[in-house]
């Protein structure tokens, strides 16, 4: 079905809302923002052609308001809604409601969101398509005896997983039979409260995997291609920090094989639009389907940098019913891209979010440096939303150059008002294990301690503080020498000549 998108509503905020509206504008599409009262001064509101306030502050009363957002789309005459990531992006009901209202949902059909959202259903579809999956039970378990029978066959440790959703919620590692009963109960109750679905199934636990995902694009006519992998192993509590493409462990042969698996996995659900197939890769470089993310992902820019393909534009073209314009053989990978997610957080203090107003913000620039950011100087990092400030992406011919460029770019940030993980990022990408490419999903837990940053930081602020104290002292003396004073002896700004005059 071919239908032009002339006007697009972006049902999101922050950097991804800005990212999406930029590509839409370049395609001649009029853009509509929605926003919460606390977000009224944010870039996505200012940069959109039109903007509508949809509520006060919390996600529940704003960016998760399905009816309100659809109402704004209809009122503003928007032809389509782009959900970004998070919020309503993987909500099958929302996708259906949008389509039922006669509006294009820039994303997959509700049926694909639904079947990939159910991890048991996804495993079944993907396995039937001939894609390797982690050994596990094909159905939910109703009793711990089923889990223990599985463990007898595949050995401990095993992993209890929620069928209703990913992201590590409702997940329990079980090392022996004694732990099973309580792990099963807590997995069930956590799954119930996180997803409203207490179904739990079992997988063999892979101990030191790397997390490697493939970007795919599928059109409405059953054509699909992959755009290579992203290495996403550097994460902390399921929050990714550093992503890159290509991965140091993926050979061209593996890329071809895994890419073909990713395409098969996507098509098994009748997938359309941009999506991501996550794999775990073990130390023998066996790969296993983990889950599918049925949205545009945070880390999509690293794929854009090495393929030269604007993923948002592709999403919009697919949504308009255009067939894929590129064949698999036409996809070329060039150079190396690295992304750091810059968070407002206190890396030295258990990574606690650091809220407040950004009082100063100057971003890195230069050849091969890209910054995707949705907050400006003067904006507030609040308790209401994710504390990500920006994504810094570097692109260069080689991985080493991309690391050097990133190190330089991170140093160029001049940001005040909140604490950030900028130094932590620099520490990670310059760690010998990272440089070697020898890491897995446990990297942060294994190597990162707050003391490392503290020790690195110490010398610099102390020297700076001493220098600053001297400057202040001398400026005061100088000022007193040249100043007129008030009757009480204090320096008067009225009677003091301007510095530049005195020095010039």
Give me the residue label for tokens 């007129």.
Answer: 484
Distance in angstroms (rounded) separating the CA atoms of residues 26 and 35: 22
Q: Which of 148, 258, 283, 132 is nearest to 207 (CA)?
A: 283
Window contacting ligand MV4 (CB under 6 A); options: 11-19, 201-209, 319-327, 463-471: 201-209
Sign (positive/negative) of CA torsion 467, 473, 479, 481?
Answer: negative
Per CB under 6 A, 231 contacts ligand MV4? no
Between 279 and 413, name the residue whose CB sits nearer to ligand MV4. 279
Q: Which of 287, 291, 268, 265 is nearest to 278 (CA)?
A: 291
Between 39 and 440, name the residue whose CB sits nearer to ligand MV4. 440
Go through the chain and tell me how many residues it has.
504
14, 209, 387, 417: which one binds ligand MV4 (CB under 6 A): 209
List the interface residues with ligand MV4, window 49-68 (CB under 6 A). Answer: none
112, 206, 218, 396: which one binds ligand MV4 (CB under 6 A): 206
Q: CB neighbours of 208 closer than 8 A, spacing ≥ 6?
A: 282, 283, 440, 441, 442
Window contacting ligand MV4 (CB under 6 A); options: 88-96, 165-173, 293-301, 316-324: 165-173
Q: Which long-range contacts (CB under 8 A, 24 or more apart) does 432-436 make?
A: 434/234, 434/242, 435/400, 435/403
Closest distance between ligand MV4 and the C-beta of residue 129, in Å?
A: 19
19, 211, 264, 336: which one binds ligand MV4 (CB under 6 A): 211
For residue 97, report the phi and psi dihedrals to the nearest 5 degrees.
Answer: -60, -40
Closest distance between ligand MV4 and the C-beta of residue 409, in Å?
A: 25
Per CB under 6 A, 440 contacts ligand MV4? no
Per CB under 6 A, 205 contacts ligand MV4? yes
Between 45 and 206, name the residue whose CB sits nearer to ligand MV4. 206
Q: Two tokens at 198? A: 């207490």
Per CB under 6 A, 134 contacts ligand MV4? yes
Cα-based angle 140, 95, 61 (whole degrees, multiple of 5): 95
Between 109 and 136, name the residue whose CB sits nearer to ligand MV4. 136
Per CB under 6 A, 187 contacts ligand MV4? no
Closest distance between ligand MV4 and the C-beta of residue 208, in Å?
A: 9
Distance in angstroms (rounded) separating the CA atoms of residues 270 and 92: 14
Between 291 and 339, name the residue whose CB sits nearer to ligand MV4. 291
The answer to whether 105 and 239 have CB atoms below 8 angstroms apart is no
Between 108 and 209, name the residue whose CB sits nearer to ligand MV4. 209
Closest distance between ligand MV4 and the C-beta of residue 28, in Å?
A: 38
For residue 322, report the phi and psi dihedrals to the nearest 5 degrees.
Answer: -80, 140
Per CB under 6 A, 84 contacts ligand MV4? no
Closest distance between ligand MV4 and the C-beta of residue 235, in Å?
A: 5
Per CB under 6 A, 159 contacts ligand MV4? yes
Window contacting ligand MV4 (CB under 6 A); options: 163-171, 294-302, 308-316, 403-411: 163-171
Q: Which of 274, 233, 280 is nearest to 131 (CA)?
A: 280
Cα-based angle 26, 32, 34 (whole degrees, multiple of 5): 135
The answer to whether 318 and 2 have CB atoms below 8 angstroms apart is no
Per CB under 6 A, 441 contacts ligand MV4? yes
Q: CB neighbours of 239 closer than 8 A, spacing ≥ 6?
A: none
Per CB under 6 A, 168 contacts ligand MV4? yes
Closest distance between ligand MV4 and the C-beta of residue 289, in Å?
A: 11
Per CB under 6 A, 290 contacts ligand MV4? yes
Distance in angstroms (rounded) separating the CA atoms of residues 143 and 390: 45
Between 108 and 166, name the residue whose CB sits nearer to ligand MV4. 166
13, 172, 210, 295: the active-site residue: 295
- The reply to whether 295 belongs to the active site is yes
The answer to whether 107 and 293 have CB atoms below 8 angstroms apart is no
Closest distance between ligand MV4 and the C-beta of residue 127, in Å?
A: 14
Q: Which of 424, 477, 468 is nearest to 449 (CA)?
A: 424
Closest distance between ligand MV4 and the C-beta of residue 157, in Å?
A: 9
Number of CB atoms found within 10 A of residue 248's CB: 14
List the interface residues with ligand MV4, window 269-288 (CB under 6 A). Answer: 280
Per CB under 6 A, 229 contacts ligand MV4? no
> Which residues are paired to 381 by β-bridges?
356
Distance in angstroms (rounded) separating the CA atoms of residues 14 and 374: 4
Closest distance between ligand MV4 and the C-beta of residue 465, in Å?
A: 39
> Which residues are paired to 353 by β-bridges?
345
Between 343 and 395, name the residue whose CB sits nearer to ligand MV4. 343
Distance in angstroms (rounded) separating the CA atoms of residues 77 and 28: 16
Per CB under 6 A, 203 contacts ligand MV4? yes
- Residue numbers of the site for ligand MV4 (CB under 6 A)? 134, 159, 166-168, 203-206, 209, 211, 235, 238, 280, 290-291, 441
So which residues are the catalytic ones? 295
């Amino acid at each position: 079905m071919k239908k032009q998108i002339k006007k697009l509503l972006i049902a999101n905020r922050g950097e991804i809302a800005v990212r999406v509206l930029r590509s839409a504008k370049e395609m001649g599409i009029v853009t509509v923002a929605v926003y919460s009262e606390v977000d009224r001064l944010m870039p996505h509101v200012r940069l959109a052609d039109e903007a509508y306030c949809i509520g006060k502050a919390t996600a529940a009363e704003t960016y998760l308001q399905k009816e309100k957002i659809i109402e704004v789309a209809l009122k503003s005459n928007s032809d389509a809604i782009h959900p970004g990531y998070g919020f309503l992006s993987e909500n099958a009901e929302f996708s259906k409601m949008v389509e039922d209202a006669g509006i294009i949902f820039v994303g997959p059909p509700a049926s694909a969101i639904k079947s990939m959202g159910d991890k048991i259903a996804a495993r079944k579809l993907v396995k039937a398509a001939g894609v390797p999956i982690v050994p596990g039970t094909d159905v939910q378990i109703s009793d711990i005896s089923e889990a223990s029978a599985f463990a007898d066959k595949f050995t401990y440790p095993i992993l209890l997983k929620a069928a209703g959703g990913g992201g590590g919620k409702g997940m329990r590692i079980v090392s022996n039979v004694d732990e099973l009963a309580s792990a099963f109960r807590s997995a069930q109750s956590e799954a119930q409260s996180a997803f409203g679905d207490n179904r739990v199934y079992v997988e063999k636990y892979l101990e030191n995997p790397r997390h490697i995902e493939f970007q795919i694009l599928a059109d409405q006519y059953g054509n699909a291609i992959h755009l290579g992998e992203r290495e996403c192993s550097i994460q902390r509590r399921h929050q990714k920090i550093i992503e890159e493409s290509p991965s140091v462990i993926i050979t061209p042969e593996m890329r071809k094989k895994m890419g073909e698996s990713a395409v098969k996995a996507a098509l098994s659900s009748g997938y359309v639009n941009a999506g991501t197939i996550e794999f775990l890769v073990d130390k023998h470089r066996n790969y296993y389907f983990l889950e599918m993310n049925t949205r545009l992902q945070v880390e999509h820019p690293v794929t854009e940098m090495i393929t030269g393909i604007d993923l948002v534009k592709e999403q919009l073209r697919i949504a308009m019913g255009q067939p894929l314009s590129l064949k698999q053989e036409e996809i070329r990978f060039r150079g190396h891209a690295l992304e750091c997610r810059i968070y407002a957080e206190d890396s030295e203090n258990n990574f606690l979010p650091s809220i407040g107003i950004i009082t100063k913000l100057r971003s890195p620039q230069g050849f091969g440096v890209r910054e995707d950011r949705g907050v400006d100087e003067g904006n507030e990092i609040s308790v209401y939303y994710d504390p990500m400030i920006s994504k810094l992406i570097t692109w260069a011919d080689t991985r080493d150059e991309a690391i050097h460029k990133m190190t330089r770019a991170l140093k160029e940030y001049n940001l005040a008002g909140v604490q950030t993980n900028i130094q932590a990022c620099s520490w990670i990408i310059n760690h010998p294990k990272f440089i070697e490419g020898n890491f897995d999903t446990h990297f942060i837990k294994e190597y990162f301690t707050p003391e490392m940053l503290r020790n690195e930081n110490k010398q610099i602020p102390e020297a700076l503080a001493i220098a600053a104290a001297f400057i202040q002292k001398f400026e005061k003396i100088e000022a007193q020498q040249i100043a007129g004073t008030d009757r009480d002896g204090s320096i008067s700004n009225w009677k003091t000549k301007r510095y530049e005059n005195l020095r010039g």
